[in-house]
């Protein structure tokens, strides 16, 4: 079996790295030691599960032999049959786990994300829902011990959010949030509704992997930077100093504004981070056009124009339309307890990837650097 050959290679590499970690020349070189330790750590889980699978495989063979030897002893035969059934279940589960671990990792899974939430159809009600969705992700981030930094906001007249852009930093943030991009629809009676009628509003969510400067090289000649006075709620600096920054990326026409900080330098740095992430996403979209129809159907669920989820307040229900999952605990989910949804989505798309043929094309390589 191909996957068993791959696992044997991984185990051999793991043993080699284990030996290297004990060598004096590796211990003396801090950078080399950290690199080796990281590579060793990355393989630990799959090697442990492979060794567990091999132990179950060995027990299976021993039990089958025992079954053949005890053919004349009904009691021993019954016990051996029972043990065989249990071991076959464990063996199947362990093999499935290994197949999941062998799925090519998304090179962006370890990255921080730029989260963009915008109010869509529904007027003021949509801005209030955008604020609640941002709170939902912020509470979830707290539980994951991630750090949330607001980069830009635009507040509506009723105190909702027309738009919010935030950076979420932590461990494997993109791996957890990458399936959240799309249109989130809400059905409820708005606070402003006098007749008690249920309205439908929507917000769009975009989850962009944060790009490093090395990955996305932005040529200074390709951007125009304008400064202007901040607007909206604020202190003495509002409308008095040119601290707000607007950056236009000339090759693509992308525009990013940031005015949350009193410092023009800080606003410029934040705007560049958002621009870099948007350019990175653009590069990813270009690469994804080259993949097969089946693969595109599976990966393309991050399209922001796609309605992915409905939040029905009267029925205390949230439904994810991509996987047909409904959870009747909307109040808990809005409080940041979205782990059941996140886990179900990850499990679904992992299963979809298992159905795909082994990767052979350049689309399976890490994204290339974007050169405007």
Co-location of 12 and 131 in the same domain: no
Please give the distance of CA 342 from its chain centroid, rounded to a whole number: 9
CA distances from 79 to 59, 60, 92, 311, 361 (A): 14, 13, 20, 51, 50
| Higher-pLDDT residue of 84, 291 | 84
Please determine, for residue 42, whether its predicted confidence score (pLDDT) is greater than 70: yes
Q: What is the pLDDT of residue 65?
A: 84
Nearest to 117 by CA among 205, 177, 181, 202: 205
E strand map for the chain: 113-119, 147-155, 161-169, 182-188, 199-209, 223-228, 244-249, 254-258, 307-312, 317-320, 325-327
Domain check: are 10 and 97 in the same one?
A: yes
Domain assignment present for residue 363? The answer is no
Which residue segment(s) compose the domain that 57 sits in? 2-101
Same-domain status, 202 and 240 = no
Tell me, yes or no, whether 321 and 282 share the same domain. Answer: no
- Greatest mean pLDDT among 86-90, 101-105, 300-304: 86-90
Question: Would the pLDDT of 78 be above 90?
Answer: no
Are 181 and 247 found together in one domain? no
Both 303 and 279 in a single domain?
no
CATH of the domain at 254: 3.30.160.20
**310 vs 230 pLDDT, higher one:** 310
Q: How many domains does the chain fold into?
A: 3
CA 310/CA 184 separation, integer angstroms: 6
Give dist(CA 226, CA 243) in Å, integer: 10
Is residue 290 classed exposed, middle or buried when 0-12, 13-18 and 19+ CB atoms within 10 A define those classes?
exposed
Q: Looking at per-residue confidence, does 360 or 338 come out higher?
A: 338
Do residues 242 and 270 both lie within one domain?
yes
Whether the per-residue pLDDT at 296 is higher than 80: the answer is no
């Amino acid at each position: 079996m191909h996957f068993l050959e791959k696992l044997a290679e991984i185990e051999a590499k793991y043993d080699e790295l284990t030996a290297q970690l004990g060598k004096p020349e590796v211990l003396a070189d801090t950078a080399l030691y950290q690199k080796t330790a990281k590579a060793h750590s990355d393989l630990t889980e799959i090697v442990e599960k492979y060794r567990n699978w091999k132990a179950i495989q060995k027990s299976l063979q021993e039990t089958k032999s025992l079954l053949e030897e005890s053919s004349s002893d009904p009691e021993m035969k019954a016990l051996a049959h029972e043990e065989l059934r249990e071991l076959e279940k464990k063996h199947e589960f362990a093999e499935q786990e290994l197949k999941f671990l062998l799925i090519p990792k998304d090179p962006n899974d370890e990255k921080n994300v730029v989260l963009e939430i915008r109010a869509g159809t529904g007027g003021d009600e949509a801005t209030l829902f955008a604020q609640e969705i941002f709170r939902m992700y912020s509470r979830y981030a707290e539980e994951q011990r991630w750090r949330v930094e607001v980069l830009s906001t635009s507040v509506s007249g009723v105190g909702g959010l027309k738009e919010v852009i935030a950076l979420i930093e932590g461990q494997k943030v993109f791996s957890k949030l990458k399936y959240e991009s799309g249109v989130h629809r809400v059905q409820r009676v708005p606070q402003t509704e006098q007749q008690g009628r249920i309205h439908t509003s929507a917000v769009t969510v975009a989850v962009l992997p944060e790009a490093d400067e090395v990955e996305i090289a932005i040529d200074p000649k390709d951007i125009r930077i304008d400064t202007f006075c901040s607007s909206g709620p604020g202190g003495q600096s509002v409308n008095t100093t040119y601290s707000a920054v607007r950056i236009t990326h000339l090759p693509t026409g992308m525009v990013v504004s940031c005015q949350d900080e009193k410092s023009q330098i800080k606003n410029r740095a934040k705007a560049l981070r958002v621009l870099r992430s948007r350019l990175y996403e653009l590069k990813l979209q270009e690469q994804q056009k080259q993949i097969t129809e089946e693969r595109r159907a599976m990966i393309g669920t991050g399209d922001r124009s796609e309605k992915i989820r409905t939040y029905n307040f009267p029925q205390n229900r949230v439904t994810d339309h991509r996987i047909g999952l409904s959870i009747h605990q909307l109040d808990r989910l809005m409080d940041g307890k979205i782990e059941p949804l996140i886990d179900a989505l990850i499990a679904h798309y992992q299963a979809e990837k298992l159905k795909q043929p082994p990767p052979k094309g350049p689309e399976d390589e890490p994204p290339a650097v974007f050169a405007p």
